[in-house]
A = this chain, B = another copy of it.
Amino acid sequence: MLANKNQERTSLAKLGEFGLINHLTEHFKIYCSSTQKGIGDDAAVISSSDKELLITTDLLIEGVHFDLSYMPLKHLGYKAVMVNLSDVYAMNGAAEQITVSIAVSNRFPLEALEELYAGIQLACDTYKVDLIGGDTTSSTKGMLISVTAIGKAKKEDVVYRNGAKATDLIVVSGDLGAAYLGLQVLEREKQVFQVDPKNQPDLDAYTYLIERQLKPEARKDVTELLKELEVKPTSMIDISDGLSSEIMHICSQSKLGCKIYEEKLPLDPQVIATSEEFNMDSTMIALSGGEDYELLFTVPIADFDKIKANPHLSIIGHMVEENQGMNLVTRANQEMELKAQGWNSFEE
């Protein structure tokens, strides 16, 4: 977690914008045959196809979305790509291209941007997407990253948020709440470090949580798994703001309500143990934690058998008519109204 203070420092001013872009992107490979022209002209060119095009964009800002005191730049680059690919997969599409715009203040040397782009490149190589453009400029304070992802899907395969039907099963991939707890652990260690810089933290009990926070993976594998299982979700969304907030988007756009069963929420053992340590309710963390980048989707009840035994998928509830509201059924079999505690970056 500590920066090496003796590292090389090359000033960004020396390279200029075009030199910088060339330097940072020259080793990126092109994976998609649809990428006709990447970086180096006024616009990138993508070849035509008979598939629908999916476009999504996200902005990450230092001090708001990430803290460089515990977020290594390589992980930040990787995560900035993941949060966008996740949105393409949430449409049941295949991500093919990204653009990356960054602004950094002069306090960042070239070597810092090389780290950032190493993470972006690792994401591109792992997910087989092409970096096709972007913008690189200076900021007056800190770093920000704006990524746009472009994907494709056959028209009949695109899954929106508004297609759920009453009685559909609600399914979530992976497990919930770990990324949020990872952030809590990192914030705590940062404060310990500020008081006693010689203290070496023992993070063995939190490895999964920290990895989920610093190096999330977009669930490309889940969209592929659904194709193998011959399941087409009726609605889908990715979990960036927390399960409650996301299921409420599906409910409101599909004009339905839902029942989520507390006992069905998939929790990693580290989430349960660390919730207790932090005196937090693990159900609340699973519902409101955010940044899990798992896929939340609904499927017809007829698909129950295809989903039920799959270790990557959990059936956590079902849709109901709109007038029944959006509720959590607790372990004590009580119904509690779901509330979106999703993150509002504008709150002071």
Interface residues of A (CB under 8 A from B): 11-13, 15-17, 20, 36-37, 40-59, 61-65, 86-88, 90-91, 93, 97, 99, 101-103, 106, 132-135, 137-142, 144, 146, 148-151, 155, 158, 160-161, 236-238, 253, 344-348
The closest CB in chain B to the CB of A101 belongs to B59
Q: Is the CB of A43 within 8 A of B101?
A: no
Q: List 19 A-B contacts (CB under 8 A).
A: A11-B346, A17-B346, A20-B346, A40-B161, A41-B160, A42-B90, A42-B161, A44-B54, A46-B55, A55-B99, A56-B133, A57-B135, A58-B101, A61-B140, A103-B144, A138-B346, A139-B144, A140-B141, A140-B142
Q: Is the CB of A345 within 8 A of B17?
A: yes
Q: How far is the CA of A139 from the CA of B238 in the complex (A)?
A: 24
Q: Is the CB of B137 within 8 A of A43?
A: no
The closest CB in chain B to the CB of A139 belongs to B61
Q: Is the CB of A135 within 8 A of B346?
A: no
Query: Which residues of chain B are within 8 angstroms of A236 by Cβ–Cβ distance?
Result: 42
Q: Output the least CB separation between A190 and chain B (Å).
A: 17
The closest CB in chain B to the CB of A52 belongs to B45
The closest CB in chain B to the CB of A245 belongs to B18
Instruction: Out of B12, B57, B93, name the residue touching A346 (CB < 8 Å).
Output: B12
Q: How far is the CA of A42 from the CA of B57 in the complex (A)?
A: 9
Query: Which residues of chain B are within 8 angstroms of A42 by Cβ–Cβ distance?
Result: 56, 86-88, 90-91, 161, 236-238
Q: How far is the CA of A307 from the CA of B16 in the complex (A)?
A: 35
Query: Which residues of chain B are within 8 angstroms of A160 by Cβ–Cβ distance?
Result: 37, 41
The closest CB in chain B to the CB of A295 belongs to B42
Q: How far is the CA of A317 from the CA of B13 in the complex (A)?
A: 32
Known interface pairs A48-B50, A144-B144; 9 further A-B residue pairs with C-beta atoms within 8 A, sorted by A's residue number: A20-B346, A36-B52, A42-B237, A43-B55, A45-B53, A45-B91, A48-B48, A57-B146, A61-B137
Q: Is the CB of A49 within 8 A of B48?
A: yes
Q: How far is the CA of A142 from the CA of B46 in the complex (A)?
A: 34
Q: How far is the CA of A13 from the CA of B345 in the complex (A)?
A: 8
Query: Which residues of chain B are within 8 angstroms of A103 by Cβ–Cβ distance?
Result: 59, 61, 64, 144
Beyond A48-B155, A87-B43, whether A55 also contacts B150 by CB under 8 A is yes
Q: Which 7 residue pairs across A and B have the least CB separation, nearest first?
A: A43-B56, A42-B90, A146-B146, A63-B140, A46-B53, A42-B87, A43-B54
Q: Is the CB of A106 within 8 A of B348?
A: yes
Q: Is the CB of B44 within 8 A of A253?
A: no
Q: Is the CB of A43 within 8 A of B346?
A: no
